[in-house]
A and B are shown apart, each in its own frame.
Chain A
Amino acid sequence: MSVTAQSTKSNPFEAERNGLQLRRSIVNKLSIILTGFFAICASLFLIYLIGYIAAKGLQFINANFFTQRPRAPGETGGGWATALQGSAIFLSEVGRGPFASFVRFLVDTLTGIPTIIFGLFAWVLIVVPSHSFSAVSGGVALGIIMIPTVARATEEVLRLVPNDQREASAALGATHSRTIMQVVVPAARSGIVTGVMLALARVAGETAPLLMTAGGTPFFNTNLFHQIDAIPLRIFNFTLSPYQIERDQAFSGALVLIVFVVITSLAVRWATGGFKRRGR
């Protein structure tokens, strides 16, 4: 600060009452109010959405819901077990994405493709030759959808590993592969797990690619090569139903799906938070 600027007033820490100061303080207050307003809007919408689904859906959540197959319209109760089972199989089917950065362009392209295209791909690849909707084809479609998400997330966290650590390892005479596997990947492990979990949460809600691969069925099925149900598919089918009870049950399904995604996110938080505690 120059001497001349200080000499105009006695206390340099006291704000001057001029136009510039006034404008700054107004802009400051205005931006705080605006950000607060939009934050409230966003949360209100989310709370409303979850609250509405919970209110509509909770009435059908009971033991039967998870274990019984959907009944014919008119019967009470009915379950989503088939859908849960299908989703679980899809999730366990999915492969881990590659983390090589040389496929980044490809991966970015994949990210931009509507998910229904992946469904079409799996349909052409598996459903058409086998003449049947199947859990496997759904798994393939969802797995491909996961690849770009997992790959990009993994790449990002690998980049975050400080170069110091690569140098430390290299200076000890570790080979490049040993540096990656024993130094870089362990350091990024929590981030990679986060990426996989978020990708899982994302595909758990996919509907479009399943329409033409898993097919959807109200019956239990343990054969991976036959058509199988999934929560998003069942929501889709129930929402289109002419029966009030099925439309209401769609909300129960939506609630279960949201709870699943929330639990996944919380698990991610817990895993990364735990990592931070260990690191300190």
Chain B
Amino acid sequence: MQELVASEGQSQAEIAIDIQRLDAWYGPSQALFDVNLSILPLSVSAAIGPSGSGKSTFVRCLNRMHEEVFGARVTGSVVIEGVNIYAPTINPIYVRRHIGMVFQQPNPLPSRSIYENVAIGARINGLAKGRALDELVERRLRQAALWDEVKDRLSGAPTQLSGGQQQRLCIARALALEPHIVLMDEPCSALDPIATLQVEDLIRQLKQHYTIVIVTHNLQQAARVADRTAFFLSGHLVEEEATAEFFSHPKQKETEDFITGRFG
């Protein structure tokens, strides 16, 4: 793995996620074609592209959630902290325990309390018990900018919360795993503009401690939150650039067509 990193001309410490020759299939149909990308630590990377471009598949490959779909498979390598998560000895369950994920629809577990929804992340990794767990839950809820809104109803059902609150609860749950990387699959697409701005503020704050990969169909959102932006089209990674450069001087014709609204 060291060789692969070195061949990119960057030292390992500068790369949080190193993706090499990544192909992904759903049964017989290929969803990703030879994706190569290095993601820097403590940065926000956005994946954009039209529907069916493979951007969600891409992010789901980074914590091996892609394989949850029946018949799905992946080839290539994704190296995180020096370990190829697609090595045959790696159990995907353990990969997922160290990478936070936030989904398109807020998906708190409805049969559990608000407190339990956050605590479940810490419990799965055996991080804390009793008093320490209470503190961890509070810390993560504060980090997700939700503590003040739920501190008086921690034992209440998460379904009482608004969509934006539920999504921040899901972010708190992902953070409770104490991951270094947080993946977000269109986290704002089910939220109203105010809740979207709150989540975007949150993403900017979380960047200080986490490496974030976000899928979005909203170009403005990518421009607002991302340090680097990657454009996917028909399963191919067309272009990846620093966000300002990406939107002002796209190198590929397809990228320019997409960001100027000529298709997609």
Contacts and interface: CB of A to CB of B under 8 A. Distances in A.
Contacts of A189: 111
Q: Which of A164, A173, A279 has the most CB of B within 10 A?
A: A173
Nearest to A188: B111
B177 interface: yes
Nearest to A173: B97
Contacts of A278: 157
A72 interface: no
Contacts of B65: 167, 170-171
A172 B97 contact: yes
B111 A187 contact: yes
Interface of A: 162, 164-175, 183, 186-187, 189, 278-280
26 contacts: A162-B107, A164-B103, A165-B107, A165-B109, A165-B110, A166-B68, A167-B65, A167-B103, A168-B108, A170-B96, A171-B65, A171-B174, A172-B96, A172-B120, A172-B124, A172-B173, A173-B93, A173-B97, A173-B124, A173-B125, A173-B177, A183-B111, A189-B111, A279-B110, A279-B159, A280-B159
B49 interface: no
Interface string B163-176: 00000001001100
Nearest to B65: A171
**Which 6 A-B pairs have CB atoms at the shortest separation, nearest pair first?**
A173-B97, A164-B107, A173-B96, A171-B101, A186-B111, A168-B107
Given A168-B108, A171-B103, 4 more contacts: A164-B107, A167-B103, A175-B93, A186-B111
Nearest to A174: B124
A168 B65 CA distance: 10
| Majority secondary structure of chain A interface residues (helix, strand, loop or mixed) | helix
B107 to A, nearest CB: 4
Interface of B: 63, 65, 68, 93-98, 101, 103, 105, 107-111, 120-121, 124-125, 157, 159, 170, 173-174, 177
Contacts of B124: 172-174
B93 A183 contact: no
Contact of A168 (B63, B94, B159, B170): B170
A168 B102 CA distance: 8
A187 B93 contact: no
A158 to B, nearest CB: 14
Contacts of A168: 103, 107-109, 170, 173
Nearest to A164: B107
A27 B125 CA distance: 63
Nearest to A186: B111
B109 A167 contact: no
A172 B110 contact: no
Nearest to A280: B159
Nearest to A183: B109
A173 B105 CA distance: 19
A185 B170 CA distance: 21
Contacts of A187: 109-111
B159 A167 contact: no
Q: Which of A167, A168, A174, A186 has the most CB of B within 10 A?
A: A168
Contacts of A173: 93-98, 124-125, 177
Contacts of B177: 172-173
B105 A164 contact: yes
A164 B125 CA distance: 21
A220 to B, nearest CB: 44
Nearest to A278: B157
Contacts of B96: 170-173
A168 B101 CA distance: 8
A58 B97 CA distance: 64
Contact of B68 (A165, A170, A186): A170
Nearest to A171: B101
A280 B110 CA distance: 10
A186 B109 CA distance: 10
A130 B105 CA distance: 59
A170 B65 CA distance: 8
A279 B159 CA distance: 7
A167 B97 contact: no
Nearest to A187: B111
